[in-house]
Amino acid sequence: MSTHGHDHPHPHDHDHPPEAAPWKHDGVRVIPGNQLDANTAQTPGMDRRAAINLARVGAQKLWAGTVTIHANAKTGAHHHGHLESVIYIVKGRARMRWGEHLEFTAEAGPGDFIYVPPYVPHQEINASPSEALECVLCRSDGEAVAINLDIEPAEPPEQVLWVDPTHPRGGV
């Protein structure tokens, strides 16, 4: 017999939720892919959309969403503050540049993961001249942080006009 008065292998009461846990409305959430939120921190040259964050589902320790970089487009230099980021490449070819002068480079394709540590200056580049780069992005906080940097990028970004309900004729 265990010192807790029983000898079965399940977790103890302090590991169980309260008796009246509101799991129906505060449990698992499914966010349909066509309902992602474009009201996120944006970097010129890319389109971020939130699926999971503090505002949408109450996430305290992570942010998840999608990022699309149009064919031949490049972001400006930026970092994500204290957050860690993981990028999963769904479609296309990504080229990452990083460092104080964006002097380092690596490429990734479908099925590859990219890890970006906190405060690392970087630039995302769609290495394809004809295919969109589609990624899933996760960060280590419930709010997205994107801090654009005033450093000369290794590969200058091109102006990309986004067409969406807010900018029906195109905008940056």
Residues facing 68 on adjacent strands: 47, 134
Question: Which residues, in sequence order, are bridge partners of residue 28?
Answer: none
The SS3 assignment for 172 reads coil
- pLDDT over threshold 90, residue 146: no
List pLDDT tens digits, range 5-46.
445 455 555 566 556 667 887 788 888 889 998 887 666 667
What is the residue whose two structure tokens read 């230099």? 77
Q: How far is CA 48 from CA 24, 31, 127, 146, in A?
A: 29, 15, 18, 10
Those residues whose C-beta lies under 8 Å from the C-beta of residue 125, and which sit 6 or more positions away, are 69, 73, 74, 75, 94, 95, 96, 97, 155
**Identity of residue 165:** P
**C-beta of residue 49 within 8 angstroms of C-beta of residue 40:** yes
Tens digits of residue pLDDT in 57-105: 888 899 999 999 888 888 888 898 999 999 999 999 999 999 998 999 9
Task: Give 62's contacts (C-beta < 8 A, 6+ positions apart).
Answer: 52, 138, 139, 140, 141, 142
The helix/strand/coil state of 168 is strand
Residues 6+ apart with CB under 8 A from 41: 48, 144, 145, 146
